[in-house]
Amino acid sequence: MNPLRNAYLEALGIDRWVPRGAVEEVAEPAAARVPPSISLPASPRTEAPARATIPAPRLAPPAGYVRGPLADDWPGLREQVAGCTACEQLCKSRTQTVFGVGNTRAEWLVIGEAPGAEEDRQGEPFVGRAGQLLNAMLLAIGLPRETVFIANVLKCRPPGNRDPRPEEVSNCLPFLSKQIALLKPKILLAVGRIAAQNLLATDVPLSRLRGKLHRFGEADTPLVITYHPAYLLRAPADKRKAWEDLKFARAIHARILGGSLADGGSA
């Protein structure tokens, strides 16, 4: 078995099948073997023919709500997010806003649904067990956490971790859109059904959104969908499907860097 593929599967936590009597390569820990480059070669099995695209949503702000111009720099935008009171229930129940974290020159933007209880306490997205699994998922395609930017659709934790309401998404999506405009990522990776459906303004099941190249926003940034790490902790059998999603995203990114898939082109 290829030692590099072993490293990917170990990082993602997928058990490997080895024929009885076979001797498997022994190598150093996965974290040491997965290369830090973000332009790994695309797997031939993930190179698919033309992929369907779904238009980016055009969500209008709620009636009666007026938001001033958003800042054109990271510190200013962070301050605006921290002071947002558009959603009365969320701003009263939150400990703090969760702006996002990572490399502000990253080529990858990972997007989740909303902060959970621990994220609300720490002010950082994807911490705890789900965050550890997300780190392993990213490392499996050669992306240490510090090389990407991670954010959520909502910047405040919904009480009781309930699903975001449509008006809350409408209020908060401009912040995410501005983050994308500042970051100018090559690719977006949305994790989980709720993040994917809100970004695409659709109720299509996640199973039908996976494996396709979508587009988001005015820049038509490539968007790939996969499972949320918290879901994978509850349903580890689907980690193999998540691995296919990650390989597909890696292949799309490689094609962008190679010029065969322009940022505004089709797959």
Q: What is the dihedral of CA 186, 158, 99, 127, to 10 degrees?
A: -80
SS3 assignment, position 177: helix
Crossing angle of helices 239-258/128-140, nearest 10°?
A: 50
pLDDT band at 14 (very low <50, low <70, confident <90, very high): low
How much of the chain exceeds pLDDT 70, in percent?
73
pLDDT band at 207 (very low <50, low <70, confident <90, very high): very high
- Judged against a pLDDT cut of 70, whether residue 54 lies above it is answered with no
Q: Please write the tens of the pLDDT for every residue from 225-249.
A: 999 999 999 999 999 999 999 999 9
**Beta-strand pair 187-191/221-226:** parallel
The CA-atom distances, in angstroms, between 173 and each of 16, 198, 205, 220 are 40, 9, 21, 15
- Judged against a pLDDT cut of 70, whether residue 15 lies above it is answered with no
| Domains of the chain with bracketed CATH | 3-11+52-58+72-258 (3.40.470.10)
Crossing angle of helices 239-258/3-12, nearest 10°?
A: 120
Count of positions (residues) in the chain: 267
Q: Which residues pair with 149 in a beta bridge?
A: 102, 109
Closest-CA residue to 112 (of 58, 150, 167, 160) = 150
H-type helices in the chain, by residue range? 3-12, 30-33, 74-82, 88-93, 117-122, 128-140, 166-183, 193-200, 206-209, 229-234, 239-258
pLDDT band at 32 (very low <50, low <70, confident <90, very high): very low
